[in-house]
Chains A and B, each alone.
Chain A
Amino acid sequence: MALRGRRTHSRRGLSTIVTSVMLVAAVAIMGSFLVTWSNSSFTAQRVAIANQTDTKINLIRESFVIEDVWFYTQGVQKMNVTLRNTGDVAIKVTHIYINNTQVWTGSQAVNATKVAEISFNKNWNAGSPQSMWVKTLRGSEVKQVWKS
């Protein structure tokens, strides 16, 4: 009885061990996958958030003014727009609109604290108000009215 009892107990213990091992292995595999996936996801999210934050911060740090607009004639009527970067990051001016009409597009870099001039052809009437609208690559914009 004692032997029979021992033999029976021995068969039952093997299956339990195997089962336990399998369960632990499954849990380990799933846990490893979860940790790996979450790390990857979190890393990607951090990169995205970092980029987004940097973009926002740079946009906030952008600052510039339309320092001067000179209306002149050199064969044709022209305008010369002088921009001063009053912020502490470089900017890239990409669009100029006058009276809601795009008159210039390009990529004029202006380093921090520096000045840049942009000239283009544009008909103007002496004494008329000209609504100037300047946009940068990051999306900053300045709107001023000048009298031609």
Chain B
Amino acid sequence: MKRKSGAQRKGLSTVVAGVFMIIVMASAVGVTAWTMQQQDRVTDEILSKANSKLSRLSEELEISGVSIANKKLNITLTNDGGSAARAKTIYIVNETAVPKQQYSYDIDYLVDGRAVVKNVGQTLAFTAKNTTSYSVRVITESGSSASAEYLPVASTPIPMTLYVIPPTITTGENVTILYAVTNNVTNSNSPLTISPKITSSISCGGVGCTLTKITSAPGTVVIHKGATALIKEVYRADGPPSTVMTFNASYTGAKAGNYVIDKGTIIVVTLSQGVVTSIATKPDMYLILPGPFGKSSQHGLWGAVVVNPTNSTMKVSRVLMTAFTGSHTGATQVVQSGCATTAIAPSTASEWSCPHDNQIQWKRLGSPLTLAAGEIYTFLVRAQPKGLPAGEEEPGATVTATVYTDIGVFTKTGYTVGMHSISEPLGNVYMTDSTDQGTTGALNNAKMFGHLNNISPATTRTFYVVFADLDTNSTSYVNAGGRLIINVPPGFANVTVTFSSLFSTPTVVNRADGITQIIGVTTGNTGDSATGEAKTIAFTAVTPSPGKDTTYLMFAFIDGVTNSNPAFSAGAVAEMAIEIDVP
């Protein structure tokens, strides 16, 4: 009993202490567990934030188009991501204003994943102009953003190219115009919408000269970013050879200077276009010959028009003009050896001579005359005719011209000059530079020309062509009714006679081959004046636009009868070269 009672007393305090310890331990365990719960809350929030960020990354909002409709911005939003994006704010910056102006508006568009919302901006209180540049930025509720620019076509040069296919055609064929426009505007995703504008012109004029559109370009063309649109038009072209077709392409409202030009040419189809010779080019030569080369003590005009066709200089050391007659009589002399000459061009008298009968020569071997690339020079001299035996006439002595150059010696034949054993006028055709028909004008040696250099293309120019009797013998002349016929070469447009006081009103005829022919008929005798007589036809024409430097040949001649007995043919000719110098 004692032992039992003593053990109970000793255990009471232990029990009490144990109870307190249990209470304290339970509290400690509770606090620990709660603390861990708090850690879990933090961890949950971190996970939630991470998920939120991932969700934001899944938004792939972009502005896939900005245009202007109804004077409002018309924006298309595209969400390429998997999470829906809610557009909450739009910022619009007027990039054209100085300083730039920014506008912001609250919006509320839910753009589902892989969905598109159109017409954003149509309800905003913002008036947009299609001549102003805007940058647009849209902010989503999660803070991501998308931006784009609206660039008016008038502010951005767009690369473009024009192709004329084929570049050369024959008259009556179709020519296709391909207008290529590339949308390479790098700071805008918007497609480019343009209204193509293609204009055309043709260098010739008058009947038979047309450029007719067969197929038109579409009214509007949408070009997506990075894409190139090919816009086609087809034309039918009718015109003489060397006619130039010019096409100019752009689009409505394009930036100033943003256009492209290409040209095509109407050519003659020749039997052989592939002739290969041992030299690339050779000089062209044309002649100015009297007709009749009257039996007179005075001097008729002879000329050789030499064209340098090369791209480099050409040196000319000698020019020969030789007449061959069908007569076997030694007294048949178109010109006599050692004949009297009047040098015109070159003007050094000693350089001109008649080395033997029937030959006129210009020679400068020591220091040849240099012609620049493409340059034309007319060797002009007035020479004294000799004559034929009594009773003879030579209506067609063959004339051959030869030019000596540093790229070779070339000869041209096929011309004639006529003479009579009796007194005849010195009929001639040539160019002058005014309507002065007297001794200070067309009858002045210094005013006689065989060519024109450096003529601007596509400009209106006045030309003067003279029908003259260069002798002062009033008893020999070309009868009234003689005709001066001028063949204006193809490519010269709007030919209009402006002066013809000694002719009846000239007729102007457009020939099918593209030549414009002016025919003037004299109202009186030509050459029945003691001072010589010149009759001038002046006309204007729009010069061609050949695309590169080109020489045109204007051919003029006299068709008349002299007053001699028996009468003789008046048939002076002049081949006059005109260089169109393209800048």
Bound Cα distance A39, B20 (Å): 12
The answer, yes or no, to whether B45 is at the interface (CB within 8 Å) is yes
Bound Cα distance A15, B49 (Å): 70
The answer, yes or no, to whether A147 is at the interface (CB within 8 Å) is no
Size class of A's contact patch?
Answer: 35 or more
Give the total number of A-B pairs whose CB atoms are below 8 A apart.
97
B28 touches A27 (CB 8 A): no
A16-B6, A20-B12, A68-B104 are known contacts. Are A53 and B143 too (CB-CB below 8 A)?
no
A57 touches B45 (CB 8 A): yes
A24 touches B31 (CB 8 A): no
Nearest CB in chain A to that of B25: its residue: A38
The answer, yes or no, to whether A73 is at the interface (CB within 8 Å) is yes
Which of A28, A31, A70, A84 interacts with B143 by CB under 8 Å?
A84
Apart from A53-B38, A61-B48, 12 more pairs, CB < 8 Å: A26-B13, A30-B17, A31-B19, A31-B20, A32-B20, A42-B27, A42-B31, A60-B49, A65-B139, A67-B89, A84-B139, A115-B88
Show 23 residue pairs from A and B whose CB-CB distance is below 8 angstroms, ordered by the A residue.
Answer: A20-B9, A23-B12, A23-B13, A24-B12, A24-B16, A31-B17, A32-B20, A38-B24, A39-B27, A42-B27, A46-B31, A53-B39, A56-B42, A57-B41, A60-B45, A61-B45, A64-B143, A67-B89, A84-B89, A84-B139, A86-B56, A86-B141, A86-B142
Interface pairs A-B: 10 shortest CB-CB: A31-B20, A65-B143, A53-B38, A86-B143, A20-B9, A27-B13, A60-B45, A42-B31, A23-B13, A57-B45
Which A residues are closer than 8 A to B by beta carbons? 16-17, 20, 23-24, 26-28, 30-32, 34-35, 38-39, 42, 45-46, 49-50, 53, 56-57, 60-61, 63-65, 67-68, 70, 72-73, 82, 84, 86, 113, 115
The answer, yes or no, to whether B34 is at the interface (CB within 8 Å) is yes
Bound Cα distance A125, B514 (Å): 67
- Nearest Cβ distance between residue A9 and chain B, in whole angstroms? 8
B99 touches A16 (CB 8 A): no
Which of B42, B102, B139, B145 interacts with A60 by CB under 8 Å?
B42
Question: Inside 8 A of A64's CB, which chain B residues have their CB?
Answer: 143
A24 touches B13 (CB 8 A): yes
| B:131-169 near A, CB below 8 Å | 137, 139, 141-143, 145
Which of B9, B20, B41 interacts with A34 by CB under 8 Å?
B20
Bound Cα distance A27, B19 (Å): 10
The answer, yes or no, to whether B91 is at the interface (CB within 8 Å) is yes
Bound Cα distance A88, B99 (Å): 37
A57 touches B42 (CB 8 A): yes
- Nearest Cβ distance between residue B7 and chain A, in whole angstroms? 11
Bound Cα distance A40, B39 (Å): 22
B24 touches A35 (CB 8 A): yes
Question: Inside 8 A of B145's CB, which chain A residues have their CB?
Answer: 67
- Nearest Cβ distance between residue B401 and chain A, in whole angstroms? 72
Question: Inside 8 A of A16's CB, which chain B residues have their CB?
Answer: 6, 9
Bound Cα distance A23, B13 (Å): 6
- Nearest Cβ distance between residue B45 and chain A, in whole angstroms? 4
